Amino acid sequence: MGDHVTNIKELSERVGLSVTTVSRVLNGKSEQYRISKDTQTKVLDAAREFHYSPNRIARGLKLEKTETIGLIIPDISNPFFASIARIIEQESRRFGYSLILCDSQDDITTENELINLMAERKVDGIILAPVGLNCDHIRGLFQRTIPMVVIDRYFPGTRMPYITTDNYKGAFLATEHLILNGHRHIACIQGLKGITSCTERVNGFKYALKKHKIPIDKSLICGNDFGEENGYLQTLLLLNRKKKPTAIFALGNLISLGVLRAIYEKGLSIPDDISVITFDEHPYSAYLRSPMTTIEQPREKIAKMAVNLLFEGMQSGNGVDDRIAINLEPRLIIRESVKNLNL
Amino acid sequence: MGDHVTNIKELSERVGLSVTTVSRVLNGKSEQYRISKDTQTKVLDAAREFHYSPNRIARGLKLEKTETIGLIIPDISNPFFASIARIIEQESRRFGYSLILCDSQDDITTENELINLMAERKVDGIILAPVGLNCDHIRGLFQRTIPMVVIDRYFPGTRMPYITTDNYKGAFLATEHLILNGHRHIACIQGLKGITSCTERVNGFKYALKKHKIPIDKSLICGNDFGEENGYLQTLLLLNRKKKPTAIFALGNLISLGVLRAIYEKGLSIPDDISVITFDEHPYSAYLRSPMTTIEQPREKIAKMAVNLLFEGMQSGNGVDDRIAINLEPRLIIRESVKNLNL
DNA sequence: TTTTGATGCGCAAACGTTTGCGCAAATCCG
DNA sequence: CGGATTTGCGCAAACGTTTGCGCATCAAAA
């Protein structure tokens, strides 16, 4: 006694019953197959005594489900994605599912490989924060065979269920906040052009200007990457103009990091020399040299809804409803990085 | 043509060869089994044409390896762990392995469940950033059956290969930096008592004091959790003393977040009213209200070494060498959160 | 006593791979 | 030309599960 049994066969031999019966008891199908109470306790006791633990690989093969979901994320070290990942992991586990995490490193061919990998590994569902501009590689194929939900971004014109922040509104909120504080000459440093989260933020930005009858200066909408370096370089360029903007709107948390680096490197100060506002709240936002005014995305909601949607789709048997298109409300958090020019 | 084949059997029927042969070609064993060039190209072409992609579950079952490693982390939204996770994921993928990520939420029973889960899922190896004070639940059992390496913390007196920062040295560096700047009355807000990363940091702290002949005031070593709340509360308590410390040493990044909250809530300023130094570098460290002086842990090295160690152990066949015990050099990054009292 | 129905459990196939062994055909050697 | 060797490939078992179906046994009904 006390030693370990490695599979259900050994266990069945220990209790002198068939593999079939043991399996049934262990899977809670005793009722269904009329296994006597006696046998049940015998099996259960033995399982405990001999430390039986089922082989999920074999199980997965037979059942054609792995109780695993795949999460593909452009950069897990980005706190926005990290906190989303955390919640997705927790929620999935509540359903008894594990997570295969992959980091596409903002690279579309990697993303492609990862999706194939997920397919080979027979994950039961995929949550994807896509990196690319289009989704030819995913569309069709995967919505049919593996339930999938897209987060953070989506692909216009294609039917893939997605859930994201209302980026348009977020950008509008931020921009209007600047305008109400007297800013007219506002720069907007964007992420990768063409992806929805970026386009819509730019649109929200433009709409706010239009609404307040401020002409749009296209040269003030610059940059083309969500990384820190882009924020840094664009800010440097902006600061070197003859007519400097009075405010910078950064369209992502890494961008804003670069903005900060450039501004402080130049020896300028926020908000006295220049105002800054950014997408993405962060634990440190409040404690920065100039506490940052931010647009907070509802990360927890995004994550939870994504998981729930996915599981619905998985259970329904015919994938996630591809008419699903959810835009969640962002929130403006006002701190001190925006100067009131009206005073 | 163009349609998809779902398993190797179908594929073999398409090319008119046996499953055996097809499998061999696909696995690059043509040489070994003397498959003709002709057959090889036929198989390879068909595989492409019919989009064959192997079922890794079945493969895993037969081969008794899943090409998966398990990563258990206390909190993936902690940037320290997030960036480690990212590198571990990348490195593992270079070896052709995927990552099952689990977040133990700093809870030891969850950690336990997760380890069992990993075993059921037959991961080929585990990287664990353990949460608990002891390792009765892991020791013995797992070093024998699944190769494992522990990171960030370890368990003294037990033989489990680990790799961590030289916490003793890191704390020493930080403390000595304070002392050299004239501080004598230094508070140290620690994490969970009893775990090595905490104990050793405290020891390093004490040693620095001792070396400089400063008496150790035990009441200044306070707190018992790596969370933000602990940092906040302890700081509040410290600030309310008759004799306030001139400096606070936070033993973790979340703790320091709480320290900042408390200090600024009280309307004090760093470093004029009080100096702060902390373990863990962070992208925002440089841009805080008072740019933070930090002890940077070699996260990338930790992650890479852990992966390499694990793979060595997996390939060797008899687990990771349990005499491995690596302490990596931390780095002091001096900014402006420490006031020089000597001036 | 025979028939019927309920009870309790096991046989064997199936999931998609990999691989040890063996077998036929082709080639070589003397 | 006959035997030995090489070449090229397939049979079938195995990995650890789950489950449709069927088969005893037993009690109750007739």
Please tell me the predicted confidence (pLDDT) of residue A140: 56
From A13's Cα to the closest Cα of chain B, the distance in A is 21
Stretch A183-208: mean pLDDT, rounded? 95
Mean pLDDT of chain B: 94
Please tell me the predicted confidence (pLDDT) of residue A21: 97
Neighbours of B230 (CB within 10 A): 24
From B120's Cα to the closest Cα of chain A, the distance in A is 5
pLDDT band for B139, please (50, 70, 90 cuts).
low
Stretch A20-39: mean pLDDT, rounded? 95
In terms of average pLDDT, the best of A295-299, A322-326, B31-35, B149-153 is A295-299
From A219's Cα to the closest Cα of chain B, the distance in A is 28
Please tell me the predicted confidence (pLDDT) of residue B141: 61
- Tens-digit pLDDT profile for residues B272-286: 999 999 999 999 999
| A16, two tokens | 């002198």
* Side-chain half-sphere CA neighbours of B81 within 13 A: 28
pLDDT band for A38, please (50, 70, 90 cuts).
very high
Residue in A56, A98, A120 closest to B53 by CB? A120
Instruction: Mark which residues 255-284 of A lie under 8 Å from B by CB.
Output: 257, 260-261, 264, 282-284
Higher pLDDT, B330 or B140: B330
pLDDT band for A136, please (50, 70, 90 cuts).
confident
Residue A130 has pLDDT above 80, yes or no: yes
Residue A166 φ/ψ, nearest 5 degrees: -75, 90
Task: Tell me if B121 and A56 make a contact (CB, 8 A cut-off).
Answer: yes
What gap in Å lies between CA B88 and CA B101, rounded to an integer?
A: 10
Residue B123 has pLDDT above 70, yes or no: yes
pLDDT band for A217, please (50, 70, 90 cuts).
very high
What sign for the dihedral angle of Cα B239, B241, B246, B251? negative
Cβ of A51 less than 7 A from strand D? no
Q: What is the 3-state secondary structure (H, E, C) of chain B?
A: CCCCCCCHHHHHHHHCCCHHHHHHHHCCCCCCCCCCHHHHHHHHHHHHHCCCCCCHHHHHHHHCCCCEEEEEECCCCCHHHHHHHHHHHHHHHHCCCEEEEEECCCCHHHHHHHHHHHHHCCCCEEEECCCCCCCCCCCCHHHHHCCEEEECCCCCCCCCCEEEECHHHHHHHHHHHHHHCCCCCEEEECCCCCCHHHHHHHHHHHHHHHHCCCCCCHHHEECCCCCHHHHHHHHHHHHCCCCCCCEEEECCHHHHHHHHHHHHHCCCCCCCCCEEEEECCCCCHHHECCCCEEEECCHHHHHHHHHHHHHHHHHHCCCCCCCCEEEECCEEECCCCCCCCCC
Which runs of E-coded beta strand occur in A48-185?
68-73, 98-103, 125-128, 148-151, 162-165
Instruction: Mark which residues 127-146 of A lie under 8 Å from B by CB.
Output: none
Q: Which residues from the 8-27 window of protein chain A have CB within 7 angstroms of nucleic acid chain C?
A: 16-21
Please tell me the predicted confidence (pLDDT) of residue A139: 63
Percent of chain B clearing pLDDT 70 (strictly above)? 97
pLDDT band for A141, please (50, 70, 90 cuts).
low
Stretch B29-55: mean pLDDT, rounded? 95
Tokens 């992208």: give the residue. B283
Please tell me the predicted confidence (pLDDT) of residue A156: 78
Scanning A95-186, the segments in alpha helix (DSSP H) are: 108-120, 141-145, 167-180
Q: What is the 3-state secondary structure (H, E, C) of A181-241?
A: CCCCCEEEECCCCCCHHHHHHHHHHHHHHHHCCCCCCHHHEECCCCCHHHHHHHHHHHHCC
Question: Å between A9 CA and C3 C1'?
Answer: 39
Stretch A152-181: mean pLDDT, rounded? 93
Neighbours of B32 (CB within 10 A): 9
Instruction: Mark which residues 282-341 of B lie under 8 Å from A by CB.
Output: 282-284, 286-291
pLDDT band for A248, please (50, 70, 90 cuts).
very high
pLDDT band for A160, please (50, 70, 90 cuts).
confident
How far is CA A107 from each of CA A50, A104, A110, A120, B333, rounded to the nearest angstrom?
47, 6, 5, 20, 32
Percent of chain A clearing pLDDT 90 (strictly above)? 87
Question: Å between B2 CA and D9 C1'?
Answer: 27
Does A60 touch chain B if contact means CB atoms closer than 8 Å? yes
Question: Å between A62 CA and C23 C1'?
Answer: 33
- Tens-digit pLDDT profile for residues A251-263: 999 999 999 999 9
